[in-house]
Amino acid sequence: MLPNSDEALVRERIEQWAKSVRVKDMKGVVSHHSADIRLFNVPEPPQSRGIDAYRDALQLYFDNAPTPAPYDLDELEITARGVIAFAHGLLHCSGSGLHDEPAHLLVRLTVCLEKRNGEWTVVHEHHSEAAALDRQKKGDR
């Protein structure tokens, strides 16, 4: 089944967001996020409310990730109907872990969007750790 045009627009929006994260372009990352964005995140803080808190949480990632930052989407599925859309998939990312050791994570990603003034706007993001790939490789669970 072919995606509808809204689903294609949402996919483009999310792929552009991930591309902006990879190059640590804060302006590009938040360009389509609402002022009242709510983020549930893997590292501290686990919850952020509002665009300023979102920027602060993202800056922590930027400060601890290589450049370009690995931030690759996988299995992204999108549903868009009317003025509401959601997407879910997997995200492969890297940064500094405990004791500044490299950490490679597989993260579950859910993004909720609302069509505001004809534009798809991110109103909610949820990131949750699916697997710490380094630990998984070493057999630690």
The CATH code of domain 5-138 reads 3.10.450.50
What percent of the chain clears pLDDT 70, i.e. is strictly above it? 84
Task: Annotate 116-137 with b (16+ C-beta within 10 A) or e (fewer).
Answer: eeeebbbbbbbbeebebeeeee
- Average pLDDT value for the chain: 87
Q: Give residue limits of the domains in the chain.
A: 5-138
Q: Which amino acid is at 63?
A: D
- Write out pLDDT tens, residues 82-112: 999 999 999 998 765 544 556 688 999 999 9
Cα within 13 Å of Cα(100), Cβ side: 1
What is the Cα–Cα distance from 37 to 32, expressed in whole angstroms?
10
CB 130 within 8 A of CB 90: yes
Residues present in the chain in total = 141
Q: pLDDT band at residue 16, thresholds of 50, 70 and 90?
A: very high
pTM for the whole thing? 0.84
